């Protein structure tokens, strides 16, 4: 666990030096490249870490017994994930190579997005490394790839370009079908999160939580029925192991993470007027964090629902965190005028406090780099 505690420090702190205005794009680019390298090293060498590690390893080894691309039809995984790995396996049969390549691709994609769109790369990098997303990318590989494609699609909501957004979401389904969930959010995310909207959404989330098992079981049974009728190419199949009471990980994400994201969202929402005043498009950053929280809350009773937060949590940490901290700083600047040091102290305390909270929760749970889900069968004692 020490590796994951040191990661946000080692990978994040140099950004506060390199991303100063006097260094311009060059300093920003050097830092993001450095951050990508740090992520790649940690993620690429964590063999055995992660709930899905063994399943992905066995799939990769299975390619050794497949002679052609046509043989991939026997796998119940998206071909956008299988095909590149099948090609890689022909040259490198060792699964460790695959995990390192995957780590590099994920790390580069995140670093490039931070370089292009983050208002504060150092804050975004530290939040990504300390507040949960890095643990997702070391577990749910297919869905993480899909979420990263969606991350780039989210940019087109601000540009009001539905065709490109839709095209990227469809591309994301090549890695995980659940990306289809994001199609209506091109319109939903345009709604500014105001106190009234917050109450409405929260009421809906509470009702969904109450009927969570009924909703998910009905959807899973429907998909299984459609698959049996020959429509497996259009609906998710073989998810019966997620039915209520059938698996040990039916429960969703740890309550500590729901509380952590809740506190983070409330902190930012307290300064939402200053956030919107600086740039009205910051409403998207607030919405990203809110829907991360909403899906984690709704998914407390079911892992398959809380996993949908992957499509928001990357943008939430990378974009919302620096925006929220800047809103708090602007509030201090407005109220206390020349006493800007108070703003620096406030934002620094929030960064350190939330980081300690998230990493401490992982440490106390013994997750050690594994995604924070309730899994009684997960033995972390032998992990790095």
pLDDT (tens digit per residue) in 336-374: 776 667 777 878 888 888 888 887 777 776 665 565 554
Best CA proximity match to 126, nearest among 277, 19, 267: 19
Query: What pLDDT is recorded for position 230?
Result: 60
Best CA proximity match to 306, nearest among 320, 316, 292, 317: 292
Q: Does the pLDDT of residue 112 top 90, yes or no?
A: yes
Across all residues in the chain, what is the average pLDDT?
A: 80
What is the C-alpha to C-alpha distance for residues 101 and 109, in angstroms, rounded to an integer? 12
Integer angstrom CA distances of residue 360 from 129, 131, 172, 260, 323: 14, 11, 33, 11, 24
Is the distance from CB of 274 to CB of 309 less than 8 angstroms?
Answer: no
Q: Does the pLDDT of residue 173 top 50, yes or no?
A: yes
Query: What pLDDT is recorded for position 88?
Result: 84
Distance of CA 69 to the CA centre of its chain: 30
Best CA proximity match to 102, nearest among 77, 132, 129, 82: 82
In the block, residue with structure tokens 């070391």 = 138
What is the C-alpha to C-alpha distance for residues 343 and 310, in angstroms, rounded to an integer? 31
Query: What pLDDT is recorded for position 379?
Result: 42
47-56, 71-80, 329-338, range with greatest mean pLDDT? 329-338
Distance of CA 195 to the CA centre of its chain: 25
- φ, ψ of residue 373 to 5 degrees: the values are -115, 160
In the block, residue with structure tokens 């039809």 = 73
What is the C-alpha to C-alpha distance for residues 148 and 156, in angstroms, rounded to an integer? 14
- Residue 55 tokens read as 């399943």
- Residue 274 tokens read as 């200053």
**Residue-wise pLDDT tens digits, 255-296:** 888 888 888 898 888 888 888 888 888 889 999 999 998 888
- φ, ψ of residue 253 to 5 degrees: the values are -70, 155
For the segment 108-117, the average pLDDT, to the nearest whole number, is: 94
- φ, ψ of residue 54 to 5 degrees: the values are -65, -40
Query: What pLDDT is recorded for position 246?
Result: 57
1 CB burial (10 A radius; 0-12, 13-18, 19+): middle
Lowest mean pLDDT among 127-136, 169-178, 236-245, 323-332: 236-245
Report residue 375's pLDDT band, with 50, 70 and 90 as the boundaries.
very low
Integer angstrom CA distances of residue 216 from 77, 183, 192, 202, 254: 20, 19, 28, 19, 19
Integer angstrom CA distances of residue 27 from 18, 33, 41, 121: 5, 10, 21, 11
Strand partners, 253: 373
**Residue-wise pLDDT tens digits, 230-240:** 655 555 555 66
Integer angstrom CA distances of residue 347 from 284, 318, 323, 324: 21, 16, 11, 9
Is the distance from CB of 197 to CB of 287 less than 8 angstroms?
Answer: no
34 CB burial (10 A radius; 0-12, 13-18, 19+): middle
Task: Identify the DSSP state of 22.
Answer: G
What is the C-alpha to C-alpha distance for residues 60 and 42, in angstroms, rounded to an integer? 21
Task: Identify the DSSP state of 160.
Answer: T
Q: Is 138 helix (H, G, I), strand (E, B) or coil?
A: coil
Q: Does the pLDDT of residue 75 top 50, yes or no?
A: yes
Could you count the other beta carbons within 10 Å of the beta carbon of residue 161? 14
């Amino acid at each position: 666990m020490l590796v994951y505690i040191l990661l946000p420090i080692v990978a994040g702190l140099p950004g506060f030096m390199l991303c100063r205005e006097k260094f311009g794009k060059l300093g920003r680019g050097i830092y993001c490249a450095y951050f990508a390298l740090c992520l790649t090293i940690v993620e690429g060498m964590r063999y055995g870490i992660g709930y899905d590690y063994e399943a992905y390893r066995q799939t990769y080894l299975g390619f050794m017994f497949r002679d052609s691309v046509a043989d991939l039809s026997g796998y119940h995984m998206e071909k956008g994930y299988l095909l590149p790995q099948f090609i890689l396996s022909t040259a490198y049969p060792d699964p460790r190579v695959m995990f390192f390549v995957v780590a590099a691709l994920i790390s580069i994609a995140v670093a490039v997005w931070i370089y292009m769109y983050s208002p504060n790369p150092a804050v975004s990098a530290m939040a990504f490394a300390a507040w949960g997303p890095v643990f997702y990318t070391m577990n749910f590989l297919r869905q993480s790839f899909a979420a990263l494609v969606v991350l780039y699609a989210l940019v087109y909501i601000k540009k009001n370009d539905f065709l490109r957004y839709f095209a990227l979401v469809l591309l994301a389904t090549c890695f995980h079908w659940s990306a289809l969930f994001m199609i209506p959010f091109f319109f939903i995310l345009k709604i500014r999160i105001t106190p009234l909207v917050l109450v409405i959404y929260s009421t809906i989330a509470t009702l969904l939580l109450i009927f969570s098992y009924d909703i998910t079981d009905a959807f899973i049974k429907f998909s299984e029925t459609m698959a049996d009728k020959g429509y497996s190419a259009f609906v998710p199949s073989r998810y019966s192991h997620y039915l209520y009471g059938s698996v040990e990980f039916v429960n969703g994400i740890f309550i500590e993470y729901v509380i952590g994201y809740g506190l983070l969202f409330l902190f930012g929402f307290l300064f939402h007027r200053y956030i919107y005043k600086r740039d009205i498009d910051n409403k998207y950053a607030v919405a990203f964090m809110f829907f991360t929280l909403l899906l984690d809350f709704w998914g407390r009773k079911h892992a398959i629902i809380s996993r949908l937060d992957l499509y928001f949590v990357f943008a939430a940490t990378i974009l919302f965190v620096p925006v929220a901290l800047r809103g708090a700083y602007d509030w201090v600047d407005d109220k206390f005028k020349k006493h800007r040091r108070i703003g620096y102290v406030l934002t620094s305390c929030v960064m350190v406090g939330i980081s300690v909270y998230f990493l401490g929760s992982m440490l106390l749970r013994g997750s050690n780099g594994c995604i924070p889900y309730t899994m009684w069968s997960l033995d972390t004692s032998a992990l790095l």
